[in-house]
């Protein structure tokens, strides 16, 4: 029996995406917000205008790209629109913060300021989960997507630890601080060594971008800036390693407190 060769042409991966103008619009209307929407450059229509308005309203990342890029993502009939959907369900930070205080004596949060490498995101999530952190906070822009690669690197931890994606990280951290958390930023610009800080109360640990660290505004907002001593002639540790070092100092202090 002869087989139709067309049936055996390998199709490009379409898991985790929604394509087509109307499916993407309906996904956003139903509250399923994409991590990012790609739109063919120069594409105009009443439906595209409606999509632009929804993207702006919900502060979704949008990129105008050549149609060739869309074709590389999927060979399905995308109509010039492809949306990357989150691989997990995000939590509402304003609801989660008071819930944690009801359930946990001294909750611990991990904040990722513009971490763009999915492997770093996944590695930090894995360590945070193992160290008993209660949630991870990421910005909606300038951040790695929580995709299958991040989940794989996290060894599945991203399916278990709550992740909050926020539109304005500075405002969210101000909210956390007002709620009673101490903001501790891990930075080579820190004034004190990391093991001298107190992590036994409600704490939000902040780590920054692989390129330029924690933003200046967030550093100014922090209650404490801590550094990890470097005994070799290198600028800094990998961000996921740095996060792990300080997370387990917090674990040590909390275990001694008990």
pLDDT of residue 148: 85
Give the HSE-up count for residue 173: Cα atoms under 13 Å, Cβ half-sphere: 29
Q: pLDDT tens digits, residue range 74-99?
A: 888 899 999 998 888 899 999 999 99
pLDDT exceeds 50 at position 163: yes
15 — pLDDT class (breaks 50, 70, 90): low
pLDDT of residue 48: 94
pLDDT of residue 9: 29
Q: How many residues in total does the chain contain?
A: 258
Average pLDDT, the chain: 90
pTM for the model: 0.83
Higher pLDDT, 237 or 204: 204
Strand partners, 40: 65
pLDDT exceeds 60 at position 124: yes
Q: Which residues make Cβ contacts (< 8 Å) with residue 11, sequence separation at least 6?
A: 74, 75, 76
Query: Taking the domains of the chain in order of start, what are their residue ranges?
Result: 13-84, 93-257
33 — pLDDT class (breaks 50, 70, 90): confident
For domain 93-257, give its CATH number from 3.30.465.10, 3.40.50.2000, 3.40.50.1000, 3.40.1280.10: 3.40.1280.10
Long-range contacts of 90-93 (CB under 8 A, 24+ apart): 90/163, 90/164, 90/165, 91/135, 91/162, 91/163, 91/164, 92/164, 93/135, 93/137, 93/164, 93/166, 93/172, 93/175, 93/176
Topology of domain 13-84 in CATH is 60s Ribosomal Protein L30; Chain: A; (3.30.1330)
pLDDT exceeds 90 at position 203: yes
CA 187 to CA 236: how far, in whole Å? 9
CA 75 to CA 77: how far, in whole Å? 7
pLDDT of residue 235: 67
7 — pLDDT class (breaks 50, 70, 90): very low
């Amino acid at each position: 029996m002869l087989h139709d060769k067309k049936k055996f042409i390998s199709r490009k991966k379409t898991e985790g995406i929604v394509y087509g103008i109307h499916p993407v619009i309906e996904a956003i209307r139903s509250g399923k917000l994409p991590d990012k929407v790609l739109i063919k450059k120069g594409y105009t229509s009443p439906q595209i205008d409606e999509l632009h308005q929804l993207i702006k309203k919900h502060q979704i990342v949008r990129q105008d790209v050549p149609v060739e890029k869309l074709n590389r993502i999927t060979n399905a009939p995308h109509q010039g629109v492809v949306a990357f959907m989150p691989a997990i369900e995000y939590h509402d930070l304003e609801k989660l913060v008071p819930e944690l205080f009801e359930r946990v004596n001294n909750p611990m949060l991990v904040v990722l300021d513009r971490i763009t490498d999915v492997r770093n995101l996944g590695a930090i999530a894995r360590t945070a989960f193992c160290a008993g952190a209660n949630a991870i906070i990421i910005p909606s822009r300038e951040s790695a997507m929580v995709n299958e690669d991040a989940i794989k690197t996290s060894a599945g931890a991203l399916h278990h630890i709550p992740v909050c994606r926020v539109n304005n990280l500075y405002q969210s951290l101000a909210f956390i601080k007002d709620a009673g958390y101490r903001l501790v930023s891990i930075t080579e610009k820190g004034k004190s060594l990391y093991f001298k800080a107190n992590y036994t109360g409600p704490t939000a640990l902040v780590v920054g971008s692989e390129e330029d660290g924690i933003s200046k505004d967030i550093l100014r907002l922090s209650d404490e800036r801590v550094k990890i001593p470097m005994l070799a002639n290198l600028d800094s540790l990998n961000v996921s390693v740095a996060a792990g070092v300080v997370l387990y100092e917090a674990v040590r202090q909390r275990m001694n407190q008990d």
